[in-house]
Chain A
């Protein structure tokens, strides 16, 4: 399923310029932070 998603993204997106790559990776970092924050907001492991 992930392999299909990778293929779908590759056919629908063009290669980014090198200086646009940090924007995309910034989104990844933001989502990682959101994940951590929402984990604690929802009560952690308590």
Chain B
């Protein structure tokens, strides 16, 4: 039964991703006194993108064909290592923060390859931007997650989250507050949100792509945000916010 919960939680996270993004967009529109879009707009956009035809440039190599899937697969893999949502659910406890950060970096690497493969100027701009931001954000992310793992007395992410859930170290509230601020900045960075990047124009790296890979990329962006949001919630528990 615990394994069923495990699979269900992964499917739940994947399906939830567009809803989280739609919710953010809707709330932003409310703050700007605009009529908010529907919460299901994210799902409608996906349905539209998936129905479009695949067109690949003649200059593009095999990398362009396989890279969208290589970008997506490390993120999907990370989903399997996350802390459990439901109590009593199965989890993989030995995967540490370095592995998770490495997988996210691997995904960024393939994204950069994809941008460069088309040989156009926009791809180069987007890829170098991704590399620049990623090289600055990954060390901070490793350090933050490592500190949280130290506080939880376990380097394994899932086990650390469970330890924090059961025995939250209130003496280290200051460390948690600093880690949360750092994590929040990294969240904006990893997901390409304003003020680091504009999610609407982030796809300059993908202008050489057709719609199916673009769709996959849009999806992984949502998944990325969802992953980091979920990890932040689970590991920090938000007891001090």
- Write the A1-43 contact mask toward B (1 if CB under 8 angstroms, else 0): 1111111111101111010011011111101111110110011
Contact in complex: A32, B143 (CB < 8 Å) = yes
Q: Is B232 part of the contact surface with A, judged by Cβ < 8 Å?
A: yes
Given the known interface contacts A10-B28, A16-B195, A24-B196, the answer about A3 and B147 at a Cβ–Cβ threshold of 8 Å is no
Q: CA of A33 to CA of B179 in the docked complex: distance in angstroms?
A: 9
Q: Is B31 part of the contact surface with A, judged by Cβ < 8 Å?
A: yes
Secondary structure at chain B's binding surface: helix, strand, loop or mixed? helix
Contacts of B133 in A (CB 8 A): 21, 25
Contacts of B186 in A (CB 8 A): 28
Contact in complex: A43, B171 (CB < 8 Å) = yes
B228, closest chain A residue (CB): A2
Contact in complex: B179, A18 (CB < 8 Å) = no
The 28 sampled A-B contact pairs (Cβ below 8 Å) are A1-B238, A2-B184, A2-B232, A2-B238, A3-B20, A6-B188, A7-B24, A7-B28, A10-B24, A10-B28, A10-B193, A14-B194, A15-B194, A15-B197, A16-B195, A16-B196, A24-B195, A26-B136, A31-B144, A31-B181, A31-B185, A38-B172, A38-B174, A39-B150, A39-B151, A42-B174, A43-B171, A45-B169
Given contacts A4-B27, A16-B195, 9 further A-B contacts (CB under 8 A): A2-B233, A6-B193, A7-B28, A11-B31, A15-B197, A21-B136, A31-B179, A36-B175, A45-B150
Q: Which residues of B contact A (CB under 8 A)?
A: 20, 23-25, 27-28, 31-32, 129, 132-133, 136-137, 139-140, 143-144, 146-147, 150-151, 153, 169, 171-172, 174-176, 178-179, 181-182, 184-189, 193-198, 229, 232-233, 238, 241
